[in-house]
Amino acid sequence: MSPTKLANSYRIFLPKSKYCEEMMLRLLVILAVAGATLASPKERLVKKQAASKYKVIRGSMNWREAQTACEDIGYSLAEIRSKEDTYEAKQFHDEDILWIGITDISHEGTFTYWRGDAALTYLNWAPGEPNNLDDEDCVHLWADGTWNDHDCVTTKGDALCEHFDADIHGDPHMTTFDGHAYTFQGTCWYTMFKDCSPNPGFEVTTKFEPREDSTPEQVRTRIVSFNVTVGDQYAIVDGLDIVTGRTHGQLTAAKAIHIEEEEKKIRLHFSLKDTTFTLDWTLRKHILSASFTGSDYHGKLCGLMGNADGDPLNDFQKPDGSVLNHVDVADFGDSWKIKSKKCD
Ligand SMILES: *[C@@H]1O[C@H](CO)[C@@H](O)[C@H](O)[C@H]1NC(C)=O
Ligand SMILES: [Ca+2]
Ligand SMILES: [Ca+2]
Ligand SMILES: [Ca+2]
């Protein structure tokens, strides 16, 4: 376990205000129910209020079905990365099998996180496991939180799901909507994601600049500003300055793009068809996270954040539609550079 790897894992534990909204909604519902019955013991209410990054989906599912069930709600099978994760995950254990997002499907004997095929940063195998008995490639939790490899197809169980936002920051720098994490150190302007139809309804572009710790041999970049264009309206965020306007010139308080400012944070959202896109910008850490609700744009996006069809393995799609292999990161990144933009 290298320290870098562990540091990476913290990325997914950043508090998501989305959860808070969800929790608040759930809390309201619980309070309403409590008010109606006047019988809920206080203890139970307190327990339910504890926020969890996990959701469990019960059902007799094999590992693939479990992964699909998580994706259907915008999650992915959980990545257990610490003792704390194990403790939290155990609370969801009910039947024998609770699937998690760890597998050696793509290379027998080397288990990785399913999203982005990333190396494991924590291990919690049950004694004698993994034993690959009759070719077992998919990992589940036992009731005590330990891991076992089991048959991906014939074994049935529940799904432990976790939510991951697509984001651009630190190392590994980028994570696509489908959870493929990769490092690409481009400079100047790139398409982060856009509606991939011939006449895009929206487009989000980002500007990268070299960080202070860059050397001529190794450039490390970070995001400094971004441009959200919806129809003919745009909002450009540079640091914490926001300029809104119309692409034809006149300035406007853009209506299509909603902007909320918090101390050192900016949230933008816009809705098209059944979908609401949310962008969260944390200037201090130069993190831009994107997420969306709804299904009309599933598989219909393109750019550095991938195509959002649920499959992390086909995310390196170029503007011409061709799909590159995992190793062609530089080609993929360069293909989304906005050639008409100049930066110094
Ligand atoms: C913002 O993006 C839109 C769409 O890509 C583009 O037309 C516009 O020129 C950009 N604005 C600026 C100031 O970069
Ligand atoms: Ca195996
Ligand atoms: Ca086993
Ligand atoms: Ca994909």
- Rounded distance, CA 288 to CA 174, Å? 10
Nearest ligand 1 atom to alpha carbon 189: 14
Q: What's the pLDDT tens digit per position in 253-293?
A: 667 999 999 888 999 999 999 999 999 998 888 889 999 99
Q: Would you say the CB of residue 191 lies under 6 angstroms from ligand 1?
A: no
Candidate of 229, 230, 257 to mutate for ligand 1, largest count of ligand atoms within 8 Å of Cβ: 229
- Rounded distance, CA 81 to CA 122, Å? 5
Please state the φ and ψ torsions of residue 120, each to the nearest 5 degrees: -70, 140
Do residues 166 and 220 touch, judged by C-beta distance below 8 A?
Answer: no
Of 38, 322, 289, nearest in space to 163 by CA:
289
pLDDT at 46: 33
pLDDT at 97: 95
- Rounded distance, CA 283 to CA 301, Å? 25
**More confidently predicted of 192 and 25:** 192
- Rounded distance, CA 96 to CA 294, Å? 33
If you measure from the C-alpha of residue 84 to the centroid of ligand 2, how many angstroms do you get, rounded to a whole number?
A: 26
Q: Would you say the CB of residue 229 lies under 6 angstroms from ligand 1?
A: yes
Q: What's the pLDDT tens digit per position in 4-58?
A: 333 333 333 333 344 444 433 333 333 333 333 333 333 333 333 346 789 999 9
Do residues 182 and 174 touch, judged by C-beta distance below 8 A?
Answer: yes
Which pLDDT band, with edges at 50, 70 and 90, does 185 fall under? confident
Neighbours of ion ligand 2 (CB under 5 A): 104, 132, 137
Which pLDDT band, with edges at 50, 70 and 90, does 182 fall under? confident
pLDDT at 253: 66
- Buried-state track 64-84, b at ≥16 Cβ within 10 A, e below 16: ebbbebbbeebbbbbbbbeee
Average pLDDT over the chain reads: 82
**Which numbered ligand comes closest to the C-alpha of 111?**
2
If you measure from the C-alpha of residue 86 to the centroid of ligand 3, how many angstroms do you get, rounded to a whole number?
A: 18
Count of positions (residues) in the chain:
344
- Rounded distance, CA 183 to CA 324, Å? 15
pLDDT at 170: 61
Please state the φ and ψ torsions of residue 63, each to the nearest 5 degrees: -60, -45
pLDDT at 74: 73
Q: Which of 26-30, 64-68, 245-249, 334-338 has the highest mean pLDDT?
A: 334-338
**Which numbered ligand comes closest to the C-alpha of 206?**
1
Q: What's the pLDDT tens digit per position in 228-250?
A: 999 999 999 999 999 999 988 77
Q: Whose CA is nearest to atom 1 of ligand 1?
A: 227
Of 117, 125, 87, nearest in space to 101 by CA:
117
Q: What's the pLDDT tens digit per position in 75-104?
A: 889 999 999 999 999 999 987 899 999 999
Q: Would you say the CB of residue 233 lies under 6 angstroms from ligand 1?
A: no
Q: Would you say the CB of residue 227 lies under 6 angstroms from ligand 1?
A: yes
Candidate of 227, 336, 337 to mutate for ligand 1, largest count of ligand atoms within 8 Å of Cβ: 227
pLDDT at 12: 32
- Rounded distance, CA 255 to CA 230, Å? 10
If you measure from the C-alpha of residue 100 to the centroid of ligand 2, how many angstroms do you get, rounded to a whole number?
A: 15
If you measure from the C-alpha of residue 218 to the centroid of ligand 3, how many angstroms do you get, rounded to a whole number?
A: 43
Q: Would you say the CB of residue 205 lies under 6 angstroms from ligand 1?
A: yes
pTM of the model: 0.58
Domain architecture of the chain: domains with CATH = 50-162 (3.10.100.10), 167-335 (3.40.1000.10)
Residue 196: count of CB within 10 angstroms of its CB: 18
Mean pLDDT of all residues in 111-115: 89
Which pLDDT band, with edges at 50, 70 and 90, does 116 fall under? confident
Candidate of 205, 207, 233 to mutate for ligand 1, largest count of ligand atoms within 8 Å of Cβ: 205
